[in-house]
Structure 1
Amino acid sequence: MTSKKPTRSSKPARNPRQHETGKGSPGRPGPTRAKRGTAAAPPIEIDAAALPPLGMPAAEFLRDYWQKKPLLIRNAFPGFVSPIEPEDLAGLACEEAALSRLVTLERASTPEGRDRWLLQHGPFEEAMFPGMPHQDWTLLVQDVDKWDADIAVLLEAFAFLPRWRIDDVMVSFAAPGGSVGAHVDQYDVFLLQAQGHRRWQVDAAPNPPLEFRDDVELKLLREFHPSHDWVLGPGDMLYLPPGVPHHGVAEDACLTFSIGMRAPSAAELLGDFVDTLSADADEALRYRDPDLAPARDAGEIDADAMNRVVEALNVLRMNDPDRLGDWFGRFITIYRAAGEVMPSGDERSRIEIEWDLQHGGTLWRHPWSRMAWRRSQGKSRGARLYVSGQDYALPVRDAQRIANASMLDGPGYASLSEVGRDRVFELLGAGHYRLQLDDGEEE
């Protein structure tokens, strides 16, 4: 596989276009009979050709599958043609700013031995790829949607989910036999087959074993007992809730797109929450005991003391929903950010930029810029816009339009209120937008 360097683009381009273990005929699961008086269980495999990408209304998918059970979706993207080639991915893996990994499987030489898994982190040398073996390795690159506009377009198919919940599109190339081993993810993921064929095995049984091997750097499962076994081709997609053991192996040279969710752990939420509380805390708020009685035992921390500790901590709690919402909006729009938005250094005046917008110019959001918005819960009827860890007060309509638009043209910019246009100009100066002129050149 020879590599070619990718080019960053902030302008969207074109829209991209089994078998199962168990009873039944080859390639299809056996029939399931529902007990009288009970509803049939939702199927674990569906053909979505008539209603892509889920084969059902989004509300039905969220009710029956989301964070509940896996779903194999045949023809989620009928006739799908990958917008990138393996050579593009290899070129991206050579970039300093790209997050890439290479997983190589060294098969055991005897039946009694254990396979070895080797993990390397990029960036990689371009000259390395032509000499790679013909089997048993996988190249993975994170955040490809931030580098390739055609990949970013795929996310429009997942608009039934909150945009701030979607983390990135990771793309993997696997040579035949390539894999990253049997493992679990702690977040929801959609695995879209883009090129070639990959065999996916899933353990959908309740309470599967989740102990990890201690002889590899990767978090691989010590035991894996698949309940389902499928081969996916281009356009097929597998949805997996958090905690479901799975194992993917390339049947031939293949590309797989992994649309992963942002799911901070409780420890991560608590850590950032406590940091925010302590940073904003008034030094005058302290442990108090005006009702102190003579100590029965001077060395004892008694129940009354612990009640006062709880009271002292409760004073710091964010009982105000707007304070709590602002904390979470800032946190989630910067959480797991792999790239940083930097000021562009453009010294052009606002009058010049607005003139360009009136004459066909467009403002494209920076690929690394994350935005979300929230209605204010207090007496104010306004909203807050969250941009990569910062928050701004705006009218609801402005916050909604700015957060949901990857591009603002002249009419879109003009439709904002004065304060909304002020905010966009401020964000442009901070690097969250790039001005593209009518002739296609960027300023």
Structure 2
Amino acid sequence: MDIDTPLTLLGGLSPAAFMRRYWQRKPLLVRQAIPGFRAPISRQTLFELAARDEVESRLVAQDPKAGWRLQRGPFARRALPPLTRPNWTLLVQGVDLHHPASHALLQQFAFVPAARLDDLMISLATDGGGVGPHYDSYDVFLLQAHGRRRWRIGRQKDLTLVEGLPLKILKHFEVEHEWVLEPGDMLYLPPEWAHDGIAEGECQTYSIGFRVPARADLARDLLQRVADEAGELPERLYRDAGQPATATPGAIPEALQRFAAEAVAAALKDPHALDRALGESLTEPKPNVWFESGRAPRRLGAVVLDARTRMMYDARHIFVNGESWRAAGRDATLMRRLADARRLDAPAVRAASEDAQSLLALWCEAGWVHPEGATP
């Protein structure tokens, strides 16, 4: 992708200009970001996804008497309210993992690092449906796919929530801007911008979400991964043959403190241990993701990544679905191209070394990669 070319998707801004002026800074409304856009997934297909065990789905309804209600799927179609009933919303998470056209839509946003991409969520709502005024801790592009939705947004300083509800709804929502979005219109919101979307008639909204790692959570995960890898270090027992008798048994010996510090230093002796742990963490599939085993052809041609595969790289490693490999030279260049474009043409595959081709074949057998044109 040429990051300096103006895009209709971004209202005539180039990706470079959008990231510089708006990303994590302020909202952007784009009328007809995708002119003539039509939802690539039918209502019926969305209902079928919501009925599957491995797909995360939620039903939010607001009743004048009962108030807000939240249910978690899977949902058989008969378990959902009729479309003629107002004020309910079906939320289906991770649609891009199960629907090729929806997955292809995300590639239009490839100017943002894949390490930040979360998923595509689809919200189907009947008239008046919504999830209440709230804020998210991630960046999101709200693309109107069908019907109309009224959005109200504001920079929220008071993040107090209404108590006793199954949803995180702001108690004092302060509206600064209000728009009605129609199919093809799109609204970008940075983290913690309060927003409330209400359907005007039946509508579908696509939420392209970009996760924002929390420092404490990330630290815990990386330290656990480094600790797991440290289990492969040679075992060494603490020895204190020179420990004198003590009149203060509750005091931790300084020698033991040094031993503990040396143990941690040994685990981090590899200067790239944290980089490796980060790449493995960022590419770890979500808990409800699984792959179907495949078969590698005798002679590999063009290949594509499975929609569920997360592939990234740094200066020394290639990361795929929570695993890592050292890579250098021409093979590293080819693997990085696969991570960026999510496909390699046949000449590129043939140019790979025997080891790289064997690795691609292994990934085919794991279901992470498919020969282009093959049905996953």
Shorter-chain TM band: 0.7 to 0.9
Which residue, 403, 407, 410 being the options, matches 2:339?
A: 403
Which range is displaced more, 418-427 or 263-272? 263-272
Which residue, 345, 358, 365 being the options, matches 1:422?
A: 358
Amino acid at match of 1:424: L
Distance 1:318 1:62 in 2: 34
Which residue, 385, 388, 391 being the options, matches 2:318?
A: 385
Partner of 1:375: 315
* Contact in 1 for aligned 2:115/2:282 (Cα 8 Å): yes
Distance 2:154 2:244 in 1: 60
Distance 2:240 2:26 in 1: 51
| Deviation of the 1:396 alpha carbon | 2.1
Percent of aligned positions that are identical? 36
Partner of 2:289: 339
TM-score, normalisation: structure 2? 0.86
Partner of 1:121: 72
Question: Any unmatched runs of 5+ in structure 2?
Answer: 1-5
Partner of 1:252: 201
Distance 2:40 2:68 in 1: 30
Residue 70 of structure 1 pairs with residue 27 of structure 2 = yes
Question: Any unmatched runs of 5+ in structure 1?
Answer: 1-49, 109-114, 377-383
Which residue, 120, 134, 139 being the options, matches 1:188?
A: 139
The alignment partner of 1:53 has SS state of helix
| Deviation of the 1:312 alpha carbon | 4.7
* Contact in 2 for aligned 1:187/1:243 (Cα 8 Å): yes
Partner of 1:53: 9
Residue 178 of structure 1 pairs with residue 111 of structure 2 = no
Q: Deviations over 1:301-336 (max 9, x none)?
A: 69x799859845752563644222111111100154
| Deviation of the 1:399 alpha carbon | 1.9
| Deviation of the 1:369 alpha carbon | 1.2
| Deviation of the 1:283 alpha carbon | 6.9
Distance 1:317 1:246 in 2: 45
| Deviation of the 1:73 alpha carbon | 1.9
| Deviation of the 1:81 alpha carbon | 1.9
| Deviation of the 1:285 alpha carbon | 6.5
Structure 1 pair 105/374, CA: closer, same or farther in 2 (3 Å)? same
Structure 1 pair 59/317, CA: closer, same or farther in 2 (3 Å)? farther
* Contact in 2 for aligned 1:286/1:312 (Cα 8 Å): no
Distance 2:303 2:270 in 1: 35
* Contact in 2 for aligned 1:90/1:129 (Cα 8 Å): no
Partner of 1:87: 44
Amino acid at match of 2:323: Q
Partner of 1:97: 54
* Contact in 2 for aligned 1:287/1:308 (Cα 8 Å): no
Which range is displaced more, 147-156 or 168-177? 147-156
* Contact in 2 for aligned 1:136/1:177 (Cα 8 Å): yes
Structure 1 pair 271/416, CA: closer, same or farther in 2 (3 Å)? same
| Deviation of the 1:126 alpha carbon | 2.3
Structure 1 pair 133/292, CA: closer, same or farther in 2 (3 Å)? farther
Amino acid at match of 1:168: D
Count of residue pairs the alignment pairs up: 365
Q: How does 1:23-38 map to 2 (within 5 A)?
A: none
Which residue, 90, 107, 127 being the options, matches 1:156?
A: 107
Q: Deviations over 1:90-121 (max 9, x none)?
A: 1221222221111111125xxxxxx7211111
The alignment partner of 2:70 has SS state of strand
Residue 217 of structure 1 pairs with residue 166 of structure 2 = yes
* Contact in 2 for aligned 1:398/1:420 (Cα 8 Å): no
* Contact in 2 for aligned 1:211/1:223 (Cα 8 Å): yes
Q: Deviations over 1:172-205 (max 9, x none)?
A: 1110100011111111111111111111111125
Structure 1 pair 229/130, CA: closer, same or farther in 2 (3 Å)? closer
Which range is displaced more, 153-162 or 396-405? 396-405
Which residue, 312, 329, 340 being the options, matches 2:279?
A: 329
Q: Deviations over 1:145-178 (max 9, x none)?
A: 1222211221222121112311111111110100
The alignment partner of 1:231 has SS state of strand
| Deviation of the 1:340 alpha carbon | 1.6
Residue 202 of structure 1 pairs with residue 157 of structure 2 = no
TM-score, normalisation: structure 1? 0.74
Structure 1 pair 198/410, CA: closer, same or farther in 2 (3 Å)? same
Q: Deviations over 1:58-113 (max 9, x none)?
A: 222222221122222222222222212322211221222221111111125xxxxx
Structure 1 pair 412/277, CA: closer, same or farther in 2 (3 Å)? closer
CA RMSD after TM alignment = 2.9
* Contact in 1 for aligned 2:149/2:197 (Cα 8 Å): yes
